[in-house]
């Protein structure tokens, strides 16, 4: 009997076409706003037009008078039910509907529930709110001024606007390294505020059934089980009476991890009206009030020997968290995994200090397509490395080669205590350099400069920690960060798999089935995958921080192995030999020494329901909770070549090479899709995609006219290369890929543009590298730093 | 996303449309392509009592070149009709601008004349019309009148139409001599508001400029009429020195403001650069032709 | 006859004027009473239950609501439903028959031209309109034609490949060759 061809059954390594596409290409996806329930009402939220003000009065009487209006809610209504405030994922509190003050432009002030959203919007415009304006704070410098107004006067023991001080690393050892250094390189940067901005905004349909006491909420969430726990806490409802359903999601990128006021208000509205209440945020609401990413300032230093060896590193970060500390991140780490910076470099001593501040801006600090501040960490790292190489007068590639962790140094303990376990860093870098034509570049650059053309090349090499967590160190609001899978094999050998993750474009319905196919030999087409319904899916922490494949994907492999173990016993029974005499090949057990005598996994499935050995429980299903022993550490080398137009500051990508080592690839097509998508967000952040504020605290970037996402026209093409170093502790050797390109990509673009103009003495232009900023830097030969409040003449 | 209430008419004749506007006493607004108006309705930046939808009016979707070379663009000619037109050989400024208006999907619906009437300081078409010395034909209860562009745009989002008039046609005169021109726009991505746009239109007699027109978008509180500034080229050839002088003169006419798209100085510099690039391209193609 | 949000509001309030319109949607005449302010996208999604047309922004920027209006792509959030009276509208639901996908749909699946699927219907309709006008586009022409439609997941590269795949197939060539 010929063994099964794993690629043909859609197993590991197959670029299997996606099963979810069958509905999406027909317009049959089902997103929250597509769901209509009988008797459903519609909710709209009224938001604050100002950044910081005391609410003197709210008059809703005119809104109530509009025909079709069913309910008008304000902070007062919420407070009467103890729902005016809710906990955040970082142990702070956040206003649901404002009672005392508004603390950022766009904050939720009131909500109207009506027969249709047009009427709800009409009624919102009839609500009269009287504000007494207070001075707004739009950055951490203003926040720490001695006479700064106190944003969080609602909190006890909060005398200033500071949220936290935090540090990690060995200060004394780092100080010694700097004392011994030949050269010290300093870098100051700002990673501007950005917004994940999935095309689908956030929304929910709350459906409270008074008869059964059950609350069902259809919700745009990447983490339905966390939300269920949070709703249980906030609404004081029993957990088994809450069902969160996350249907198809129109992208997430971290934006759909937190719990938002709109969700909570829709739940109360449903309880009060006893009808389903749908709330669909508009784009502006999404951009100005929901979880943003970044907004961190860095002061960084690298201590080096003349020969290029890095001796030590210091970072100080100042982060702007907006009006509520609502970062989605593991409890233990106040500024996420910022201390993963420099993990790919062999550095003996490092010290990180961080401070976080309240401002009159939207709350957030979500992991925007990254593993908790890892995007900032790697951007800071690669900009510091770029400057350090220049300060030494050393070639960028050579400087990295000297300092990258070598293949024979694994497992490697970083100065901040992370354990990286595998990789071929130099190989990845060399493949990238070869592909971009690095060897000839300097001559090319010189020659181009003579013709008035400015070429630049930028390298970004990094390893990032994915797959939070292990549960010893990683939890969110106390819930440990493991994940789960449940596999039920039917008697015909078809199967249903459910996990605690939640796909939002990553293709779990396709790729999870491939893992099962790999482990059991059941064709992927015979396996249906379900996620997102807390009544049926096993408990899991959801999908963000590139943790699906490292954690839930591992659980899928582990549960498949449990199924295989039981099937082996059944096979022994069917073949009438002892279990020890059974061998496994893909999809089939056979008798050792007699390969012709065997049974398929499908035979075992049938027997599990019709012919089990004495004493064995019938059925073939199981579950697995996977608590990873460590993070996974994919590596990437991104190299970008640009041309800058000196007359306008406009820059074009001439070539971009990405070399990713994400371990074993389950579905290469899907992996490449993730990389290209991530690189595009990296390009966007480097070039145009940012949110800033004017001096009044007005959000610049409140809609897609001002918050710029690149189109197919601007977005460059990407050339992808692959290196595979399997993860030693992951059951299928995978490391995760969803976010590597977003994390490592921005520095490649920025380093390239800086390289093109640094002959003028420019050392840094902070993102976004908009043409005007690049031009100013070129013209003046000086740095363009930070994003000061916009001032309009 | 949800406009407030308004009354709606879709008249089937121009006369009927004008009568509705007339009866509306200034509270009615014309809906043509709607690609600027409907977003404003959705955001509730505009809340007219009544919309008069002119999309059903017959015979206004044309653009044609008269025997004397005059280009006439009807009120329902869409941006993409011009983008894919084979009638704009003698109007290079328009041909180049057509593909840069908004984005490809908006261009299927939005209209040339509507865009000119919208008088957005960042609008592309108003700038080309000023550079080309065009005019707008307005029809009201008392008949037709032709309004030169120099009198048509009164300020940001304000045009010279009376409340009961409809702009039925844009008229662009033929070049006296050979038509040359160009349109450049600095936008950070397709569909972005312009950081700066430059429309240049030249009538050439051999290598001598007979008439020069120029207008700017995105660099002032209104579309900037730079016709006077660029007239330094009249009677001259496109030498590097003359190009530089014209570019400087036009840049001086810009009235940019500093905002998140760039400093006033930067925008002025872009204007100068773009004028210079358009003129240099014309000069080079002239040399090639010769 | 269908009215907006008919699940909750079978008839609009008596003082709200509506207009009766007949629209040919995916080859079928649909007669509906609509308030003038109702956007075409909302009529398609709510009244006609064609939820494949999405809405993603407030500013006519994202193109997720793109449908074909008399054969040309328009952003259906930037048209009033009343304006479609007497016209033809094609949505993603009209692209394929029960048994056969449109080549553009096939191309998007074959070349992994979608991830979350939210932009996909609009993107595919814009692509279909392009190929009807230009059966053999270059990569740049595809990028240009799709530049009114945003995608956050794919980085566009595979979308471009999907459209070129469809173009080949529609020209009778084998896109897998």
Domains, chain C, ranges and CATH? 2-94 (3.10.20.30), 103-170 (1.10.150.120)
- What pLDDT is recorded for position C11? 46
In A30-59, the residues whose Cβ lies within 8 Å of chain B are: 44
Q: Report if residue A579 sits inside a domain.
A: yes
CB contact under 8 A, B102 and C83: no
Residues 16-35 of C with CB under 8 A from A: 35
Domain count, chain B: 3
Q: Is the pLDDT of residue A426 over 90?
A: yes
Residue B58 inside a domain? The answer is: no
B278 in the same domain as B199: yes
Q: How many CB atoms sit inside 10 A of residue A474's CB?
A: 26
Question: What's A260's domain CATH number?
Answer: 3.90.1170.50
For A52, the token pair is 């910081």
Statement: residue C6 has pLDDT above 90: no
**Which parts of chain B sit beneath pLDDT 50?**
none
Q: How many CA atoms lie within 13 A of A329 on its CB side?
A: 27
- pLDDT averaged over chain A? 96
| Contact: A250, C101; criterion CB under 8 Å | no
pLDDT at C150: 98
Question: Of B156, B172, B188, which residue sits at a domain end?
Answer: B172
Q: What is the reported pLDDT for A344? A: 98
Q: How far is C93 from chain B (nearest CA, A)?
A: 19
Per-residue pLDDT at A1:
65
CATH number reported for the structural domain that contains residue B96 in this entry: 3.30.465.10
Say whether pLDDT at A637 is over 90: yes
Judge whether residue A701 has pLDDT over 80: yes
> Where in the sequence numbering do the catalytic residues of A fall?
222, 369-370, 739
Same domain, A58 and A207: yes
- Based on the fold, state whether residues A62 and A104 are members of the same structural domain: yes
Residues of C in contact with B31 (CB under 8 A): 80, 83
Chain B: give the shortest CA distance to residue A712, in Å: 9
**Is any Cβ of chain C less than 8 angstroms from the Cβ of B11?**
no
- Res. C49: pLDDT tops 60: yes
With a pLDDT cut of 90, the percent of chain A lying above it is: 93
Closest chain B residue to the Cα of A693, Cα to Cα: B260
Question: Would residue B158 count as lying in a domain?
Answer: yes
Q: B71 and B27 in one domain?
A: no
pLDDT digits (tens, 9 = 90+) for C55-65: 999 899 999 99
Residue A307 lies in a domain: yes
Q: Which H/E stretch holds residue A24?
A: helix A21-24
Q: Which of B193, B266, B276, B278 to mutate to test the interface with A (most CBs of A within 10 A)?
A: B266
Residues 6+ apart with CB under 8 A from A788: none
Confidence of residue A358 (pLDDT cuts 50, 70, 90): very high
Contact A712 C109 (CB under 8 A): no
Q: Name which of A466, A460, A376, A377 is nearest A421 in CA terms.
A: A466
CB C119 within 8 A of CB C149: yes
Per residue, the 3-state secondary structure of A144-207, as one string, reads CCCCCCCCCCCCCCCCCCEEEEEEEECHHHHHHHHHHCCEEEEEEEEECCECCCCCCCCEEEEE
Q: Would you mind telling me the total number of residues written for chain A in this entry? A: 793
Rounded Cα distance, A537 and A520, in Å: 21
Same domain, B196 and B219: yes
Least Cα distance to A639 among A424, A408, A407, A382 occurs for A382
Residue B1 domain-assigned? no
Kindly list the residues from chain A whose CB atom is less than 8 angstroms away from the CB atom of residue C45. 33-34
Helix (H) or strand (E) holding C3: strand C2-3
pLDDT digits (tens, 9 = 90+) for A510-531: 999 999 999 999 999 999 999 9
Domain boundary among A626, A649, A672: A626
Residues A680, A601: one domain?
no
In this prediction, residues C127-139 reach a mean pLDDT of: 98
Task: State the DSSP string of A660-720.
Answer: EE-BS-S-HHHHHHHHHHHHHHHHHHHHT---EEBTT--EETSSTTTS----TTTSPP-EE
* Residues in chain B, total: 290
**Secondary structure class of A260 (helix, strand, coil):** coil
C67: closest chain B residue by CA: B105
Polymer length in residues for chain C: 177
**Interface test with chain B among C148, C151, C152, by most B beta carbons within 10 Å:** C148
Give domain status of residue A698, yes or no.
Answer: yes
Are B105 and C61 inside 8 Å of each other by CB? no
Contact A792 B188 (CB under 8 A): no
Measured between alpha carbons, how far is B39 from C104 in angstroms, rounded to an integer? 30
Torsions phi, psi for A589 (to 5 deg): -100, 145
Kindly determine whether residue B189 and residue A650, on different chains, have CB atoms separated by under 8 Å.
Answer: no
Pairing verdict, β B71-74 and B135-140? unpaired
Mark whether B81 and B98 lie in a shared domain.
yes
Q: Is there a single domain that holds both residue B194 and residue B284?
A: yes
CATH code of A687's domain: 3.30.365.10
A641 & A751 share domain: yes
Nearest to A791 among B103, B192, B258 (CB): B258
Question: Is position A3 within any domain?
Answer: no
Beta bridge partner(s), residue A349: A312
Residues 5-64 on C with a CB inside 8 Å of B are 16-17, 19, 35-37, 39, 55, 58-61, 63
Q: What residues make up the domain containing B93? A: 63-172
CB pair distance less than 8 Å for B7 and C36:
yes
Does residue A67 surpass a pLDDT of 70? yes
Record: contact A251-C9, CB cut-off 8 A:
no
Question: Hey, what are B109's tokens?
Answer: 């619906």
Numbered residues of chain B with Cβ closer than 8 Å to any chain A Cβ: 1-5, 44, 103, 186, 188-193, 195, 257-264, 266, 269-270, 273
Q: Are residues A494 and A613 in the same domain?
A: yes
| Residue A8 in domain | no
**Does A647 reach chain B within 8 Å, measured CB to CB?**
yes
A433/A544 same-domain check: no
Crossing angle for the helix pair A396-403 and A374-392, to the nearest 10 degrees: 110
- Cβ of residue C143 closer than 8 Å to a chain A Cβ: yes
- Considering the domain architecture, whether residues A109 and A210 belong to the same structural domain is answered as yes
Q: In the prediction, which pLDDT does C1 show?
A: 33
Q: Give the model's pLDDT for residue A697.
A: 96
The answer on A687 and A611 residing in a single domain is: no
Whether residues A117 and B2 touch (CB distance < 8 A) is answered with yes
- Look at residues A713, A709, A656 and name the one whose alpha carbon lies nearest to residue A684: A709
Contact B192 A793 (CB under 8 A): no
CATH code for position B24: 3.30.43.10
Final residue in a domain of this structure, among A607, A626, A645: A626
C22 to chain A, closest Cα gap in Å:
22
**Mutation site, C78, C141, C149, C163, interface B, largest B CB count within 10 A:** C78
**pLDDT at position A787, please?**
67
Predicted confidence (pLDDT) per residue in C74-130, tens digit: 999 999 999 999 999 999 999 998 889 999 999 999 999 999 999 999 999 999 999
Residue C60 C-alpha, separation from nearest chain B C-alpha, in angstroms: 7
Are the beta carbons of A253 and C96 separated by less than 8 Å?
A: no
Q: Which of the listed residues A611, A626, A641 is the one where a domain comes to its end?
A: A626
* Strand pairing category for A108-114 and A41-47: antiparallel
What is the Rg, in whole angstroms, of the alpha carbon atoms belonging to chain B? 19
The pLDDT value recorded for residue C99 is: 87
Do A662 and A577 share a structural domain? no
Chains with 3+ CB–CB pairs under 8 A to A are B, C
Q: Which whole number is the average pLDDT over A19-36?
A: 98
**In terms of domains, do B213 and B124 share one?**
no
8 Å CB contact of B269 and A709: no
In chain A, what residues touch C52 (CB-CB under 8 Å)?
26-29
Annotate C79-143 with DSSP letters as a single string: SBGGGGTT-EEE-GGGTS-SS---HHHHHHHHTT--SS-SSHHHHHHHHHHHHHH-SS--HHHHH
Q: How far apart are CA C53 and CA C118, in angstroms?
A: 9
User: What's the rounded mean pLDDT across residues A489-507?
Assistant: 97
Tally of domains within chain A: 3
Question: Can you give the residue range of the structural domain that contains A411?
Answer: 296-468+630-780
In a domain, residue B2? The reply is no
Q: Rounded to whole angstroms, how far apart are CA atoms A730 and A631?
A: 9
Is residue A792 predicted with pLDDT exceeding 60? no
CATH number of the domain where residue B205 is located: 3.30.390.50
Asked whether residue B87 falls in the same domain as residue B161, the answer is yes
Max distance between CA atoms of chain A, in angstroms, equals: 88
Distance between C42 CA and the closest CA of chain A, angstroms: 11
Tokens read off for B44: 């509730």
Banded pLDDT at C10 (limits 50, 70, 90): very low
> Do the Cβ atoms of C45 and A33 come within 8 Å?
yes
Would you say A428 and A400 are in contact if contact means Cβ atoms under 8 Å apart?
A: no
Sole residue written with tokens 């034909």:
B137
Residue B58 contacts C where some CB pair is shorter than 8 Å: no
- Indicate whether B12 and B31 sit together in one domain: yes
Per-residue confidence at C12, pLDDT binned at 50, 70, 90? low
Domain boundary among B120, B142, B172: B172
Q: Are A31 and A249 in contact (CB under 8 A)?
A: yes
Q: How far is CA A173 from the centre of its chain?
A: 33
What percent of chain A clears pLDDT 70, i.e. is strictly above it?
Answer: 99
pLDDT value of residue A545 = 84
Helix axes C157-170, A668-687, angle to 10 degrees: 120
Of B108, B139, B172, the position where a domain reaches its end is B172
Cis peptide before A622 (omega within 30 of 0): no
Indicate if A596 and A637 belong to the same structural domain.
no
Which residues in chain B have Cβ-Cβ distances shorter than 8 Å to C17?
7
| CA gap A387, B198 in Å, rounded | 38
Mutate to test the interface with A, among C61, C148, C152, C164 (most CBs of A within 10 A): C152
pLDDT at A234: 83
Q: For residue C14, what pLDDT band results from cuts at 50, 70 and 90?
A: low
Distance CA A396, CA B151 (A): 59
Tell me the pLDDT band of C8, cut-offs 50, 70 and 90: very low
ipTM: 0.97
Whether residue A273 lies inside any domain: the answer is yes
- What number of other Cβ atoms are within 10 A of residue A567's Cβ? 26
Q: Quick one: pLDDT band at residue A789, thresholds 50, 70, 90?
A: low
**pLDDT exceeds cutoff 70 at A532:** yes
What is the 3-class SS of chain B, one letter each residue?
Answer: CCCCCCEEECCCCHHHHHHHHHHHCCCEEEECCCCCHHHHHHCCCCCCCEEEECCCCCCCCCEEECCCCCEEEECCCEHHHHHCCCCCCCCHHHHHHHCCCCCHHHHCCCEHHHHHHHCCCCCHHHHHHHHCCCEEEEEECCEEEEEEHHHHEEECCEECCCCCCEEEEEEECCCCCEEEEEEEEECCCCCCCCCEEEEEEEEEECCEEEEEEEEEECCCCCCEECHHHHHHHCCCECCHHHHHHHHHHHHHHCCCCCECCECHHHHHHHHHHHHHHHHHHHHHHHHHHC
- Subunit partners of chain C (3 or more CB pairs within 8 A): A, B
- Find out whether A495 and A487 touch, Cβ atoms under 8 Å: yes
Position C9 scores a pLDDT of 42
Instruction: State whether A311 and A372 are in the same domain.
Output: yes
Candidates C9, C53, C159; nearest CB to A712 = C159
**Interchain contact A772–B (C-beta under 8 A):** yes
Residues B41 and B91 grouped into a single domain: no
Say yes or no: B24 and B91 in one domain.
Answer: no
Angle at A341 between CA A340 and CA A342, to 5 degrees: 115
Q: Taking residues A381-405, what's their average pLDDT?
A: 98
- Residue A212 and residue A271 share a domain: yes
Q: To which residue do tokens 């901040």 refer?
A: A416
Place of tokens 């979500």: A366
């Amino acid at each position: 009997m010929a063994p099964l061809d794993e690629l043909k059954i859609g197993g590991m390594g197959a670029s299997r076409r996606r099963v979810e596409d069958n509905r999406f290409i027909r317009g049959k996806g089902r997103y929250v706003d597509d769901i209509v329930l009988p008797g459903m009402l519609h909710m709209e939220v009224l938001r604050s037009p100002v950044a910081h003000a005391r609410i003197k009065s709210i008059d809703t009487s005119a809104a109530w008078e509009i025909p079709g209006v069913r309910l008008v809610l304000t902070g007062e209504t919420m407070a009467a039910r103890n729902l005016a405030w809710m906990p955040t994922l970082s142990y702070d509190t956040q206003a649901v509907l404002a009672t005392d003050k508004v603390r950022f432009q766009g904050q939720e002030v009131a909500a109207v529930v009506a027969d249709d959203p047009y009427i709800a919007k009409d009624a919102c415009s009839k609500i009269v709110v009287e504000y007494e304006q207070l001075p707004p704070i739009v950055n951490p410098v203003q926040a720490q001024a001695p006479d700064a107004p106190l944003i969080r006067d609602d909190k006890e023991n909060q005398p200033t606007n500071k949220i936290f001080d935090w540090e990690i690393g060995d200060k004394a050892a780092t100080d010694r390294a700097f004392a011994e250094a030949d050269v010290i390189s300093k870098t100051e940067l700002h990673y501007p505020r950005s917004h994940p901005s999935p095309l689908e905004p956030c929304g929910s349909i709350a459906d409270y059934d008074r008869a059964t006491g059950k609350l069902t909420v259809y919700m745009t969430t990447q983490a339905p089980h966390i939300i269920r726990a949070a709703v249980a806490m906030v609404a004081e409802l029993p957990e088994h009476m809450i069902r969160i359903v996350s249907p198809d999601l129109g992208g997430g990128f971290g934006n759909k991890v937190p719990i938002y006021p709109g969700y909570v208000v829709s739940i109360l509205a449903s309880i009060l009206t006893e009808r389903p209440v749908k709330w669909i945020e508009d784009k502006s609401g999404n951009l100005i009030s929901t979880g943003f990413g970044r907004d961190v300032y860095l002061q960084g230093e690298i201590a080096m020997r003349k020969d290029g060896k890095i001796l030590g590193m210091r970072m100080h970060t100042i982060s702007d968290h907006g009006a509520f500390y609502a970062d989605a991140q593991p409890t233990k780490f106040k500024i996420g995994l910022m201390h993963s910076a420099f993990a790919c470099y062999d550095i003996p001593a490092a010290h990180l200090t961080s401070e976080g501040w309240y401002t009159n801006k939207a709350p957030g600090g979500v992991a925007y397509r990254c593993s908790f501040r890892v995007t900032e960490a790697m951007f800071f790292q690669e900009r510091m490395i770029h400057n350090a190489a220049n300060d030494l007068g050393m070639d960028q590639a050579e400087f990295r080669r000297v300092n990258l962790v070598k293949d024979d140094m694994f497992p490697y303990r970083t100065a901040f205590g992370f354990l990286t376990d595998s990789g071929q860093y130099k190989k990845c870098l060399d493949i990238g350099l070869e592909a971009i034509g690095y060897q000839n570049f300097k001559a090319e650059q010189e020659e181009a400069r003579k013709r008035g053309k400015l070429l630049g090349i930028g390298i970004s090499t990094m390893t990032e920690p994915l797959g939070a967590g292990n549960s010893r160190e990683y939890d969110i609001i106390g819930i440990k960060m493991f994940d789960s899978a449940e596999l039920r094999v039917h008697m015909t050998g078809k199967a249903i798999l459910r996990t605690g993750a939640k796909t939002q474009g990553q293709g779990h319905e396709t790729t999870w089935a491939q893992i099962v196919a790999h482990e059991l030999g059941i064709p992927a087409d015979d396996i249906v995958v379900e996620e997102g319904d807390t009544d049926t899916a096993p408990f899991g922490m959801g999908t963000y921080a590139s943790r699906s494949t490292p954690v839930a994907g591992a659980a899928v492999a582990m549960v498949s192995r449990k199924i295989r173990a039981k099937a082996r016993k059944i096979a022994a029974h069917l073949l009438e030999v002892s279990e020890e005499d059974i061998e496994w090949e893909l999809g089939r057990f056979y008798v050792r020494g007699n390969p012709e005598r065997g049974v398929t996994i499908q035979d075992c499935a049938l027997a599990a329901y019709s012919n089990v050995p004495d004493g064995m429980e019938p059925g073939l299903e199981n579950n697995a909770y996977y608590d990873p022993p460590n993070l996974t550490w994919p590596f990437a080398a991104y190299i970008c070549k640009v041309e800058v137009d000196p007359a306008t500051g406009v820059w074009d990508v001439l070539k971009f090479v990405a070399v990713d080592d994400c371990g074993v690839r389950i579905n290469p097509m899907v992996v490449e899709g993730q990389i290209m998508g991530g690189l595009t967000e990296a390009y966007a952040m480097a070039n145009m995609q940012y949110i800033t504020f004017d001096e009044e605290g007005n959000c610049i970037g409140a809609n897609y006219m001002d918050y710029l996402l690149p189109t197919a026209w601007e977005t460059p093409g990407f050339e992808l290369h692959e290196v595979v170093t399997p993860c030693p502790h992951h059951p299928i050797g995978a490391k995760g890929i969803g976010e590597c390109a977003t994390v490592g990509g921005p520095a490649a673009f920025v380093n390239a543009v800086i390289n093109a103009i640094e002959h003028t003495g420019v050392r840094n232009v902070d993102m976004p590298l908009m043409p005007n900023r690049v031009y100013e830097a070129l013209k003046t030969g000086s740095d363009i730093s930070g994003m000061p409040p916009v001032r309009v003449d | 996303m949800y406009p407030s209430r308004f009354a709606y008419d879709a008249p089937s004749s121009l006369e009927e449309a004008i009568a509705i506007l007339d009866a509306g006493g200034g509270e009615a607004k014309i809906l043509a392509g709607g690609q600027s108006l409907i977003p404003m309705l959705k955001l509730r930046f505009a809340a007219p009592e009544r919309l008069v939808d002119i999309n059903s009016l017959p015979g206004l979707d044309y653009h044609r070149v008269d025997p004397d070379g005059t280009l006439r663009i009807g009120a329902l000619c869409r941006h993409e009709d011009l983008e894919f037109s084979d009638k704009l050989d003698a109007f290079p400024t328009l041909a180049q601008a057509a593909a840069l208006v908004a984005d490809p999907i908006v261009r299927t619906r939005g209209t040339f004349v509507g865009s000119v009437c919208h008088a957005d300081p960042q609008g592309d078409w108003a700038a080309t019309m000023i550079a080309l010395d065009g005019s707008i034909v307005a029809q009201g209860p008392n008949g037709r009148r032709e309004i030169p562009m120099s009198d048509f745009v009164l300020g940001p989002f304000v045009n010279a139409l009376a409340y009961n008039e409809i702009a039925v046609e844009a008229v662009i005169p033929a070049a006296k001599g050979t038509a040359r021109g160009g349109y450049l726009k600095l936008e950070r991505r397709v569909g972005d508001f312009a950081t700066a746009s430059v429309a240049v239109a030249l009538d050439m007699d051999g290598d001598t400029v007979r008439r020069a027109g120029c207008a700017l978008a995105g660099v002032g509180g209104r579309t900037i009429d730079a016709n006077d500034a660029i007239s330094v080229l009249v009677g001259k050839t496109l030498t590097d020195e003359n190009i530089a002088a014209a570019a400087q003169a036009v840049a001086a006419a810009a009235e940019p403001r500093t905002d998140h798209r760039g400093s006033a100085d930067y925008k002025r510099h872009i204007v100068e650069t773009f004028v210079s690039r358009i003129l240099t391209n014309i000069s080079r193609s002239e040399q090639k032709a010769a | 006859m269908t009215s907006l949000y008919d699940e909750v509001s079978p008839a609009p309030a008596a003082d709200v004027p509506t207009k009766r319109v007949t629209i040919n949607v995916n080859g079928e005449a649909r007669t509906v009473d609509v308030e003038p302010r109702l956007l075409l996208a909302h009529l398609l999604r709510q009244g006609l239950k064609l939820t494949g047309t999405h809405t993603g922004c407030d500013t006519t920027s994202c193109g997720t609501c793109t449908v074909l209006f008399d054969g040309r792509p328009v952003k259906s959030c930037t048209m009033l439903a009343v304006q479609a009276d007497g016209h033809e509208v094609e949505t993603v639901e009209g692209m394929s028959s029960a048994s056969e996908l449109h080549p553009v749909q096939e191309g998007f699946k074959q070349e992994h031209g979608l991830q979350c699927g939210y932009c996909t219907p609009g993107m595919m309709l814009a692509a279909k309109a392009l190929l009807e006008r230009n059966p053999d586009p270059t990569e740049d022409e595809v990028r240009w034609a799709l530049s009114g439609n945003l995608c956050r997941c794919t980085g566009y590269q595979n979308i471009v490949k999907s459209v070129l795949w469809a173009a080949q197939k529609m020209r009778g060539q084998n896109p897998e060759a």
